Amino acid sequence: MEENKEKRNRVAIILPWALVAILTVLNGFFIYNYFKTDQKLAVTEEVLFDTKEAKSSLDSLLKITTSELESYKGQNASLDSLVSQKDSDLKVYADRIKRLLAQDKVSKNDLDKALEEIEQLRYYKRKYITQIDSLSGQIVMLNRENDNLKGNINSQKRFNENLSMENAGLKNKVAIGAKLNTSAILVTGIKMRSNGKEKETMKAKQVEQVKLVFKIAENYVAEKGNKEIYLKLTMQDGTTLYNQATGTATFKYQGEESLYTQKKVIEFTQEAQDVVIYWAKGSEFAVGKYKAELFSDGFRIGATEFELK
């Protein structure tokens, strides 16, 4: 009896202290968990960023792009078609960025991705404007050539009314009609990746090759067969670039010998076709502005300018 009583007394003494210990542990666990949860919320708040500035940058870019594209409309049906196509491509890209910035706050990864996409949009905008401007320049040049041609024919008629101008005019028209016409001339610098793929760059130190892409329009007056296309690259001081390892290369233009940079022979089928010409300088390209001109059959058939930075 005494022994049982003593056991009960010990239990009565130990039990309250055990309960206190358990409550203390539980309380510590809840406090620890509370602060951990609070820290997680703080971290979540830290990685959310306001998208207002990115949205403003995108809106500004789209307004400028729209204004520039509008300035090219109404000159020519082919130019309007190209403007419409590139405008549509840019809008698709812009819509993808808008979806990334749909919320007022996004994570840093999403914001960085949206900002990277905006920079890509700027790149494509510059690239497309260059293509459109090149075609616009070709249209202006052709219009001037047509005006000059009309003026020359009228002067020749006035100068010698006794000559039969019908045959002369017919030959002139046939010669001009047989001239190849180019459009959408685009020049880019190329650096080859280790996997063999091309990387476009306009940084002079990185450029290994110059790549010229253009379209030859359909022409059923010009004869089918091989056509020699001459590329003439000139620097700002007028110096023609050519590969010194292969020696001087020339072609005839307006009765005189002229240096050319690269020659390509194409199979002309009278249908519209795309042409690509590559040229490697063999040494580092200089920073500055360059001019690219295309010649064939004694005519200058296209020209554009570009800049390496």
pLDDT tens for residues 35-69?
Answer: 565 555 444 455 677 878 888 887 888 888 888 87
pLDDT for position 7: 58
Selected from 2.60.40.10, 1.20.140.10, 3.40.50.300, 3.60.20.10, the CATH number assigned to the domain covering 180-308 reads: 2.60.40.10
Question: Would the pTM of this model clear 0.85, i.e. be above it?
Answer: no
Name the least confident of 4-8, 13-17, 226-230, 281-285: 4-8
DSSP string, 21-41: HHHHHHHHHHHHHHHHHHHHH
* Token couple for 240: 């023609």
Name the least confident of 17-31, 34-48, 135-149: 34-48
Q: What is the rounded average pLDDT for all residues in the chain?
A: 78
Most confident region among 13-17, 163-167, 224-228 by mean pLDDT: 224-228
pLDDT for position 289: 95
pLDDT for position 159: 58
The H or E element that residue 266 is part of is: strand 262-268
Better-scored residue on pLDDT, 167 or 137: 137
Name the least confident of 70-84, 155-169, 271-285, 292-306: 155-169
Q: Report the C-alpha gap between 80 and 36 in whole angstroms.
A: 61
Three-state DSSP class for 294?
strand
* Token couple for 257: 């010998």
Contacts 24+ apart (CB under 8 A), 241-249: 241/279, 241/281, 243/279, 243/280, 243/281, 243/282, 244/282, 245/282
**Per DSSP, what are the bridge partners of residue 309?**
none
* Token couple for 153: 């024919």
Mean pLDDT calculated for residue range 171-190 = 77
Residue ranges of domains in the chain = 49-137, 180-308
Q: What sign does the dihedral 296-298-304-305 (CA atoms) show?
A: positive
pLDDT at 204 over 80: yes
pLDDT for position 170: 42
